Amino acid sequence: MEKYSWNAEDYKQHSKGQQKWARELIARLKLKGTEDILDMGCGDGKVTAEIANYVPNGSVVGIDNSTSMIEIARKNYPTGGEHPNLSFMFMDAMSLSFHEKFDIVFSNASLHWVKNHRPVLEGLYRSLKPKGRVFLEMGDKGNAEGVLAVLRDLQQNQV
């Protein structure tokens, strides 16, 4: 992902739209409560914490490439606090370091900031356990076209 200078406090105050979209996406996850989930582009962590409530016997890892976002997420949702199954990591979606760790990769309103989707999607697939699922939501008209093209190419080449 390209590095942006985010104002995490401002985002926290003005991200109601993103939270609404996330809730619609979360409803489609049909969670059992035991899943391990990656929230890619977790921002201030409020959506990630909400997901953690649905998987009390699973885990949720939120990643973001903005240090200010990760700092505020860790401050608002500390490890071992109300959500013991929740953690946050500073990580760029273009260089995911996970291997078959997650049942679900979730991303809401963040991948439209990515210019080169191929390394993100390759890392996403490496991060999934066998039979893992992907749930992506991107804002703005036409933003999914690039992602869909890469997915078709990856499917044809069986990455």
Residue 134 domain-assigned?
A: yes
Residue 132 domain-assigned?
A: yes
Distance CA(86)–CA(45), nearest Å, equals 10
Residue % of the chain over a pLDDT of 90: 45
Section 66-76 average pLDDT: 93
Residue 97 domain-assigned?
A: yes
Residue 1 domain-assigned?
A: no
Q: Please give the pLDDT value at position 158.
A: 60
Domain containing residue 45: 8-157
Residue 52 domain-assigned?
A: yes
Residue 90 domain-assigned?
A: yes
Number of domains in the chain: 1
Structure tokens at 146: 């690039």
CATH assignment of the domain containing 61: 3.40.50.150
Between the alpha carbon of residue 15 and those of residues 45, 50, 90, 92, 109, the distances in Å are: 11, 14, 20, 21, 10
Distance CA(129)–CA(153), nearest Å, equals 21
The predicted-structure confidence for 93-144, as pLDDT tens digits, reads as follows 889 999 999 999 988 877 766 677 788 889 989 999 999 998 887 665 555 5
Residue 3 domain-assigned?
A: no
Q: Please give the pLDDT value at position 15.
A: 46
Residue 95 domain-assigned?
A: yes
Mean of the per-residue pLDDT values of the chain: 81
What pTM value is reported for the model?
Answer: 0.77
